């Protein structure tokens, strides 16, 4: 077997230098890579290329605000994200229900994006909130929408010498009147997503919708969101016929292969539920921001985060 | 003088060592001088092996297969039947069938060599499901009809003549799926020749089964093999016969290489290539009179046995014996069929065939009641079986049946009657109820005719007493139960009672640790032995007493016709489950679980409580999330991230109750309970879910997407079947 190297750089610059010289596998938390490369019990995982561990690079371990934008370092773990009051609600929700506790202590947001799994937990909220990834290389720094960066199943727009360093969130729940995030997992804890829907709506003072967003994961080869679909209802007042129009259009942008009826129907019902309930609450003047799939929905594992 | 009730919980003997991780499992053993073994398996479900292309094996590396079996050796494993081959030879019958064992000192190199092995096949069309097996897809490969085994039971008037005068006949098919055991510790075993005997170390339930099963491979006597059980991290039936599948090849490898050989499965390997619970299909035909009363129930029971019969006929028998559940019908008939398919052979799993038919009859009874517009509880209670009533095998129920008392406990705790009235069908909330039992120990006269259990107690000069029997601790608490029983009788501290993992050369054969028999049968032998030892304990320095199983007189059984007293002591159970179903997604949230069980007098309430919690959760897992599909002979779910067992987050704290009903022939009045507590929760859960969505559910598992499917396309309770 050919020998491969394991690099553990101390600074981001050092990491970028290594990445510039050699096509290394970038490993952050390892929760995907160590599993996909594992061999039988007791043996070291088998990598065909050198590995660079970036878990402890200080530059990409921070969560901070820059103006109104929240910056999350690529090597921040799901647990750190779930517990940070700076992070938008949708993202915290997704991070808090990702896998099991042990996994949340190691899995990183950069890894979750780079893995580009259609079942990944964080891309749904990131698409919803127009999140950008910051990408660095020895040539410099660039930014790209997460929704463009993830090209398709297991494919990302990253050059061999580049690294994801940050995720930037220009929006948060404060920019919306009502929010929705619901993961249908394989079970109530330690679960992979069967389908997850993120939604948010904002009303103008005249009661018309001034912004509406919906993104779904595990419904196709990548996270699904379409501004065209959302535009159907933007500028208008929510009405049952319009909701059905949105539902039909959203149905057109998703392409689930396994369990298609279940995934489509869950999305349909969740969109109907959210928009109907949001309109009801708007009319009633109810300020409870979070809408779930039904009233009194009982979540036995209490979400780590609450609305501020 | 110890006077307090034996039920009072003690700290388990293994509590600290298992919590701290200091106890040694097989993978913790220092076996550095052993070679590693790696099973080479069939990658196709059915076909002819044309060629095995091996890489060049470096010195010290071996590939051992059927052709290495010495003169006088036989290529089979003895697991009740003797059809399961130790190595596939010429053809393969299922994915994962052992073709050979690759052995060598360096595990990494062994894995590299393993990846280079290429086997050429001539593939044939497999039969995978029960229906495909019956239809002999690809041509029959067993008995000309793919039926491994069958039996028929009848009670009362011939059902056909009852059907002729029935007002209404309801036909319904209920199906259940595969289930994987998911014991915490994966399968592991090792074999080495020590002196003139082969020594086996194994994570296993039944050490004596192993030596009997594998001895024919070398043409030696079982006594030429010594099996030492190692600390076993869970089994659930998955380590009853299955360790033989590891130990057979290991024995031959040890013979061929002259070295010790060890094997530890990783999780994926263990899920993909091990035995499972039998999938089932039960077809009911039930005759009702004009008032909706059951006149007769006819059923056909099909179990997916897989490629080899092994122990499955016994599983099928138990399934058929339990198809009447906790009920007595005026007239009854069942026919059971063990169907051959090209899947990994099915084998023992907590309940041993009973859960499938119990789920089926409970669900069928609910559906009849709901069709008639009667609360399932009210309808089921019309048919509760009582002491002295005729059983499915024309025996009688020997003990008092305390279902009414158990029912009261559970109804009070769950508020079932109000909720059942108030939660409308399809409202998103539902409550369900199930009744179940489990015949303790081996069927009929099996304990006296086949097992002939034996136990010895040895007193040492320092006052210590050692329990010598073949029963194993596998997490269920037996290492604590037995010393408790013995120390109680002898009135000595528990610390003075020694009970080690069995070694077949040191202990007498007390039968397998299976069939909910250990406490009930072997615990009773220990109690009797302790009573024999007691008067001599202070007088004699060192001595042994031995007890042998004796079957109570007056309860005949005929194994040829399956007629008579199948079980002398049943465990009984009632379970209520309350759920809420998400109208948008079909997700089920369990709101409450309440159960009551009759397991005789409890030996240790905390151990019984733990078994109850776990059994109920495992039963709900089987009915809900534990989807295990077999696609073209391959199991599709092969890791614990896609084979979904429930977590403690999925189901709330349980209300757990017991009734006191001492069993005549059990230690301190205890009966079997390990399997009982699995048998009914699935049916109660499905009853609750189906009421919440207002649709009949007739197949499990029923994960979220299936619930949605039933919500969209299921049949209302009032619709015709």
Q: Which residues of B touch A191 (CB under 8 A)?
A: 644
Residue B31 C-alpha from the chain's centroid: 31
pLDDT digits (tens, 9 = 90+) for A96-117: 999 999 999 999 999 999 999 9
Interface A:B, Cβ pairs < 8 A: 91
Residues of chain B positioned with their CB less than 8 A from the CB of A1: 112
In a domain, residue B372? The reply is no
Task: Read off the tokens for B293.
Answer: 């009363």
Residues B615, B576 within the same domain: yes
- Please give the mean pLDDT across all residues of chain A: 94
* Secondary structure (DSSP) of chain A: -----EE--SSHHHHHHHHHHS-PEEESS-TTHHHHT--STTSPP--SS-EEE-TT-GGGS-EEEETTEEEEETT-BHHHHHH-TTS-HHHHHHHHTSS-HHHHTT-BHHHHHHTT-TT-SSHHHHHHTT-EEEEEETTEEEEEEHHHHEEETTEE---TT-EEEEEEES--GGG-SEEEEEEEESSSSS--EEEEEEEEEEE-TTS-EEEEEEEEESSSSS-B--HHHHHTTTTS---HHHHHHHHHHHHHH---SSSHHHHHHHHHHHHHHHHHHHHHHHHHT----B--SSTT---SS--S----
Distance from CA of A189 to the nearest CA of B (A): 6
Given a contact cutoff of 8 angstroms between Cβ atoms, the answer to whether A161 and A23 are in contact is: no
Using the 8-state DSSP alphabet, how is residue B447 labeled? I
Tell whether B580 lies on the interface with A, counting CB pairs under 8 A.
yes
Contact A266 B641 (CB under 8 A): no
Specify the residue for token string 């007293």. B565
Cα separation, B471 vs A41, whole angstroms:
29
Domain with B633 in it: 398-440+567-713
pLDDT at A295 (0 to 100) = 85
Assess A44–B contact: CB distance below 8 Å, yes or no. Answer: yes
CA B100 distance to own-chain centroid: 28
Same domain? For B72 and B206 the reply is yes
Q: Which residues in chain A (49-68) have CB-CB distances under 8 A to chain B? A: none
Nearest CA in chain B to A99: B641
Q: Which domains does chain A have, with CATH numbers?
A: 6-169 (3.30.465.10), 176-284 (3.30.390.50)
Q: What ipTM was estimated for this complex?
A: 0.94
Residue B535, number of CB atoms within 10 A of its CB: 9
Closest CA relative to residue A183, chosen from A267, A276, A74: A267
| CA A91 vs CA A5, A193, A305, B230, B690: distances in Å | 35, 15, 10, 47, 35
Whether residue B211 lies inside any domain: the answer is yes
Q: What is the pLDDT of residue A154?
A: 94
Residue B629 to chain A, least CA–CA distance (Å): 14
Contacts of A247 in chain B (CB under 8 A): none
The DSSP H or E segment spanning B251 is helix B243-257
Q: Which of residues B241, B256, B272 is at a domain's end?
A: B272
In a domain? residue B343: no
Residues written for chain B: 721
Choose one of B548, B583, B608: the last residue of a domain: B548
Q: What is the CATH number of the domain that holds B460?
A: 3.30.365.10
Residues B524 and B412 grouped into a single domain: no
Task: State CA B382 to chain mean position distance.
Answer: 30
d(CA B158, CA B171): 18
Which strand ranges, in their side-by-side order, compose the sheet holding A6-7?
A6-7, A51-53, A25-27
Same-domain check for residues B412 and B457: no
| Residue finishing a domain among B548, B579, B604 | B548
In this complex, do B586 and A192 lie within 8 Å of one another by their Cβ atoms? no
In B, residues 182-211, which contact A (CB 8 Å cutoff)? 186
Q: Closest Cα of chain A to B273: distance in Å?
A: 14
Touching check for A2 and chain B: CB below 8 Å?
no
B185 and B51 co-located in one domain: yes
pLDDT of residue A301 exceeding 70, the answer is no
pLDDT score for B3: 64
B363/B385 Cα distance (integer angstroms)? 18
For an interface test with B, give the residue of A34, A262, A269, A270 to mutate (most B CBs within 10 A). A262
Q: Do A40 and B107 touch (CB under 8 A)?
A: yes
Contact B264 A195 (CB under 8 A): no
Restricting to A residues 254-273, those with a Cβ less than 8 Å away from any Cβ of B are 259, 261-262, 265-266, 269-270, 273
CB contact under 8 A, B107 and A192: no
Q: Is the pLDDT of residue A304 over 50?
A: no
Mean pLDDT by 10 residues, chain B (721 residues): 81 96 97 98 98 98 98 97 98 98 97 97 98 98 98 97 98 98 98 98 98 98 98 98 98 98 97 98 98 98 98 98 98 98 98 98 98 97 98 97 98 96 94 97 91 97 98 97 97 97 98 97 98 98 97 94 96 97 96 97 97 98 98 97 94 94 97 97 98 98 98 96 90
* Structural domain count of chain B: 3
Residue B240 lies in a domain: yes
Angle between helix B312-321 and helix B354-372 axes, rounded to 10 deg:
30
Which residue is listed with tokens 């699904």? Answer: A224
Is residue B373 less than 8 Å (CB to CB) from chain A? no
Q: What's the angle, vertex CA B509, arms to CA B503 and CA B510, rounded to 5?
A: 115
Residue B423 sits in the same domain as residue B512: no
A190–chain B Cβ distance below 8 A for any pair: yes
Q: Please tell me which residue of chain B has the smallest CA distance to A264.
A: B585
Six-digit token string for B192: 């080495």
Q: How far is CA B54 from CA A2, A50, B58, B63, B88, in A?
A: 22, 30, 11, 8, 16
Instruction: Report the candidate in B535, B547, B509 with the shortest Cα–Cα distance to residue B207.
Output: B509
Chain B interface, best mutation among A187, A247, A259, A300, by max B CB count within 10 A? A187
B112 touches chain A (CB under 8 A): yes
Q: Residue B586: its chain A contacts at CB < 8 A?
A: 262, 266
Assess A92–B contact: CB distance below 8 Å, yes or no: no
Residue B139 lies in a domain: no
Between CA B638 and CA B657 the distance in angstroms is: 36
Q: Do the chains contact at A300 and B705, CB–CB below 8 Å?
A: no
Residue B586 contacts A, CB cutoff 8 Å:
yes
B120 and B241 within one domain = yes
Q: Is the pLDDT of residue A2 over 90?
A: no
The confidence score (pLDDT) of residue A126 equals 98
Residues 6+ apart with CB under 8 A from B346: B178, B275, B276, B277, B278, B279, B303, B304, B305, B306, B312, B315
Residues whose CB falls within 8 Å of the CB of residue A81, separated by 6 or more in sequence, listed in order: A63, A72, A87, A91, A92, A95, A109
What is the pLDDT at residue B4? Answer: 80
Q: Are residues B75 and B223 in the same domain?
A: yes
Give the pair of three-digit tokens for residue B402: 């305390």
Closest CA to B226 of B192, B186, B261, B265: B192
* In-domain check, residue B157: no
Give B583's contacts in chain A (Cβ within 8 Å): 269, 273, 293-294
Q: Which of B108, B644, B705 has the CB atom closest to A259's CB atom?
A: B705
Asked whether the beta carbons of residue B265 and residue A194 sit closer than 8 angstroms, the reply is: no
Cα atoms in the Cβ-side hemisphere of radius 13 Å centred on B523: 32
Residues B490 and B586 in one domain: no
**Is A187 in the B-facing interface, judged by CB distances under 8 Å?**
yes
Of the residues A183, A186, A218, the best mutation for testing chain B's interface (the one with the most B CB atoms within 10 Å of its CB) is A186
The CA distance from A266 to the nearest CA of chain B, in Å, is: 5
Longest dimension (CA), chain A: 69
Look at residue A296 in the predicted model and tell me its pLDDT: 64
Chain B residues with CB inside 8 Å of A273's CB? Answer: 583-584
Residue B673 located in a structural domain: yes
What is residue A1's predicted lDDT score, i.e. its pLDDT?
55
CB within 8 Å: A42 and B107: yes
Element (H or E) spanning B372, and its range? Answer: helix B354-372
Tell me if B584 and A43 make a contact (CB, 8 A cut-off): no
pLDDT tens digits, A169-217: 999 999 999 999 999 999 999 999 999 999 999 999 999 999 999 999 9
B111 and A298 within 8 Å at the Cβ level: the answer is no
Q: Are residues B424 and B504 in the same domain?
A: no
User: pLDDT at position A303, please?
Assistant: 44
Of A40, A187, A270, the CB nearest to B111: A40
Measured between CB atoms, does A85 come within 8 Å of chain B?
no
**HEC string of A266-294?**
HHHHHHHHHHHHHHHHHHHCCCCCECCCC
Q: What is the DSSP string of B147-170?
A: EEEEEEEEESS-HHHHHHT-SEEE
- Look at residue B582 and tell me if it is in a domain: yes
The H or E element containing residue B658 is: strand B654-658
Name the token pair of A143. Answer: 């930014």
Q: Give yes or no: residues B677 and B616 share one domain.
A: yes
Comparing C-alpha atoms, which of B17, B44, B19, B219 is closest to residue B118?
B44
| Cα(B684)–Cα(B403) distance, integer angstroms | 16
Give the gap in angstroms from C-alpha A124 to the nearest C-alpha of chain B. 18
DSSP string, B558-570: ETTTTEE-S-S-E
Q: Does A184 touch chain B (CB under 8 A)?
A: yes
- Dist. CA B551–CA B665, nearest whole Å: 10
Let me know whether B620 and B537 are in one domain.
no
**Nearest-by-Cβ selection for A43 from B108, B267, B586:** B108
Site from A102, A185, A265, A274 to mutate, B interface, most B CB atoms within 10 angstroms:
A265
Task: Report which DSSP code applies to B27.
Answer: G
Q: Which residue of B has its CA nearest to A293?
A: B584
Q: What is the pLDDT of residue B2?
A: 52
Q: What does the pLDDT read at residue B652? A: 85
Residue of A nearest to B263 (CA): A41
- Residues on chain B touching A269 (C-beta within 8 angstroms): 583-585
| A261 contacts B641? CB cut-off 8 A | no
Interchain CB distance below 8 Å, B641 and A192: yes
């Amino acid at each position: 077997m050919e020998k491969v190297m394991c690099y553990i750089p101390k600074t981001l610059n050092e990491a970028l230098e290594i990445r510039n010289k050699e096509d290394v596998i970038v490993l952050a938390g390892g929760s995907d890579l160590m599993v996909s490369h594992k061999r039988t019990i007791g043996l070291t995982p088998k990598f065909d290329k050198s590995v660079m561990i970036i878990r402890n690079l200080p530059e990409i371990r921070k969560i901070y605000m820059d103006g109104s934008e929240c910056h999350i370092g690529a090597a921040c773990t799901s647990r750190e994200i779930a517990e940070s009051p700076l992070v938008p609600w949708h993202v915290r929700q997704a991070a808090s229900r990702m896998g099991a506790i042990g996994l949340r202590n190691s899995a990183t947001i950069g890894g979750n994006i780079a893995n580009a799994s259609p079942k990944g937990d964080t891309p749904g909220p990131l698409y919803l909130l127009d999140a950008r990834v910051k990408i660095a290389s020895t040539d410099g720094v660039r930014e790209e929408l997460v929704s463009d960066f993830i090209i398709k199943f297991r494919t990302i727009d990253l050059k061999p010498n580049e690294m994801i360093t940050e995720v930037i969130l220009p929006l948060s729940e404060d920019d919306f009147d009502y929010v929705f995030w619901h993961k249908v997992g394989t079970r109530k804890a330690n679960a992979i997503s069967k389908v997850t829907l993120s939604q948010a709506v904002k009303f103008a003072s005249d009661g018309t919708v001034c912004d509406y967003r919906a993104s779904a994961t595990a419904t196709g080869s990548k996270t699904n969101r379409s501004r065209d679909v959302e535009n159907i209802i933007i500028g208008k007042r929510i009405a049952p016929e319009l909701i059905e129009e949105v539902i039909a259009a959203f149905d057109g942008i998703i392409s689930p292969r396994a369990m298609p009826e279940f995934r489509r129907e869950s999305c349909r019902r969740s969109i109907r539920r959210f928009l109907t309930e949001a309109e009801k609450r708007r009319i009633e003047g109810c300020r409870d921001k979070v809408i779930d799939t039904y009233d009194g929905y009982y979540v036995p594992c209490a979400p780590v985060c609450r609305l501020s | 003088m110890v006077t307090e009730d034996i039920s009072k919980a003690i700290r388990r003997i293994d509590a600290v060592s298992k919590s701290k991780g200091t106890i040694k499992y097989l993978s913790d053993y220092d076996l550095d001088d052993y070679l590693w073994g790696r099973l080479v398996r069939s990658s196709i479900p059915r076909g002819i092996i044309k060629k095995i292309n091996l890489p060049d094996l470096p010195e010290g590396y071996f590939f051992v297969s059927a052709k290495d079996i010495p003169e006088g050796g036989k290529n089979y494993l003895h697991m009740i039947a003797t059809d399961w081959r130790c190595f596939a030879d010429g053809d393969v019958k299922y994915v994962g069938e052992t073709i050979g064992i690759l052995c060598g000192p360096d595990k990494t190199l062994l894995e590299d060599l393993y990846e280079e092995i290429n086997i050429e096949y001539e593939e044939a069309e497999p039969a995978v499901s029960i229906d495909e097996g019956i239809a002999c897809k690809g041509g029959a490969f067993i008995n000309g009809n793919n039926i491994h085994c069958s039996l028929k039971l009848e009670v009362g008037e011939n059902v056909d003549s009852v059907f002729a005068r029935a007002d209404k006949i309801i036909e319904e098919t209920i199906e259940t799926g595969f289930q994987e055991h998911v014991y915490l510790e994966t399968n592991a075993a090792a074999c080495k020749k020590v002196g003139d005997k082969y020594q086996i170390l194994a994570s296993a339930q039944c050490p004596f089964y192993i030596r009997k099963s594998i001895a024919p491979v070398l043409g030696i006597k079982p006594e030429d093999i010594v099996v030492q059980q190692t600390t076993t991290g869970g089994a659930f039936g998955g380590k009853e016969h299955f360790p033989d599948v590891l130990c057979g090849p290991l024995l031959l490898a040890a013979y061929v290489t002259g070295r010790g050989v060890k094997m530890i499965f990783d999780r994926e390997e263990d899920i993909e290539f091990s035995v499972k619970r039998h999938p089932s299909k039960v077809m009911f035909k039930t005759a009702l009179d004009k008032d909706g009363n059951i006149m007769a129930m006819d059923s056909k029971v099909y179990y997916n046995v897989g490629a080899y019969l092994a122990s499955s006929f016994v599983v099928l028998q138990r399934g058929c014996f339990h198809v009447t559940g906790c009920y007595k019908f005026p007239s009854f008939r069942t026919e059971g069929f063990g169907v051959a398919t090209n899947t990994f052979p099915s084998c023992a799993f907590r309940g041993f065939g009973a859960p499938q038919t119990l789920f089926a009859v409970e669900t069928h009874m609910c559906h009849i009641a709901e069709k008639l517009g009667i609360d399932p509880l009210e309808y089921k209670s019309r048919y509760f079986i009582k002491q002295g009533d005729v059983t499915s095998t024309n025996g009688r129920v020997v003990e008092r049946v305390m279902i009414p008392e158990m029912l009261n406990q559970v109804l009070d705790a769950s508020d079932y009657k109000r909720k059942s009235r108030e939660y409308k069908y399809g409202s998103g909330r539902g409550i369900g109820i199930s009744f179940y039992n489990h015949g303790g120990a081996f069927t009929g006269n099996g304990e006296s005719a086949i097992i002939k259990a034996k136990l010895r107690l040895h007193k040492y000069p320092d006052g210590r007493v050692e329990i010598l029997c073949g029963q194993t601790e596998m997490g269920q608490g037996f290492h604590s139960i037995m010393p408790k029983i013995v120390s109680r009788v002898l009135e000595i501290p528990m610390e003075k009672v020694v009970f080690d993992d069995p070694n077949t050369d040191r202990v007498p054969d007390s039968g397998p640790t299976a069939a909910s028999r250990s406490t009930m049968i072997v615990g009773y032998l220990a109690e009797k032995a302790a009573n024999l030892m007691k008067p001599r304990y202070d007088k004699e320095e060192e001595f042994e007493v031995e007890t042998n199983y004796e079957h109570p007189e007056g309860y005949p059984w005929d194994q040829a016709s399956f007629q008579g007293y199948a079980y002398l002591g049943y465990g009984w159970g009632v379970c209520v489950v309350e759920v809420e179903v998400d109208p948008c997604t079909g997700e089920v949230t369990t709101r409450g679980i309440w159960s009551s069980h009759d397991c005789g007098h409890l030996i240790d309430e905390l151990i019984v409580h733990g078994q109850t919690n776990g059994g109920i959760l495992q039963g709900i897992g089987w009915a809900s999330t534990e989807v295990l599909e077999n696609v073209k002979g391959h199991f599709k779910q092969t890791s614990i991230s896609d084979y979904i067992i429930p977590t403690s987050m999925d189901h709330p704290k349980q209300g757990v109750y017991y009734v006191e009903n001492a069993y005549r022939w059990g230690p301190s009045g205890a009966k079997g309970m390990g399997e009982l507590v699995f048998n009914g929760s699935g049916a109660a859960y499905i009853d609750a879910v189906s009421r919440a969505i207002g649709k009949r559910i007739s197949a499990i598992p029923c994960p979220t997407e299936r619930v949605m499917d039933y919500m969209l396309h299921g049949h209302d309770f009032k619709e015709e079947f």
